[in-house]
Amino acid sequence: MTYFNDRPIPMIDPQRCDGCGLCVRACPTKALGLRDNKAVILLDPKGLASRGGR
Per-residue pLDDT, 54: 44
Per-residue pLDDT, 18: 96
Task: Tell me the domain boundaries of the chain.
Answer: 2-50
| CATH 3.30.70, applies to 2-50 | yes
Cβ partners under 8 Å of residue 45, min gap 6: 4, 5, 7, 9
d(CA 30, CA 3) in angstroms, rounded, equals 17
User: 10-52: per-residue pLDDT in tens?
Assistant: 788 999 999 999 999 998 888 899 999 999 988 776 655 444 4
Cβ partners under 8 Å of residue 50, min gap 6: none
Q: Which whole number is the average pLDDT over 1-6?
A: 74
Give the number of other CB atoms < 10 A from CB of residue 27. Answer: 16
- Does residue 42 sit in helix, strand or coil? coil
Per-residue pLDDT, 1: 66
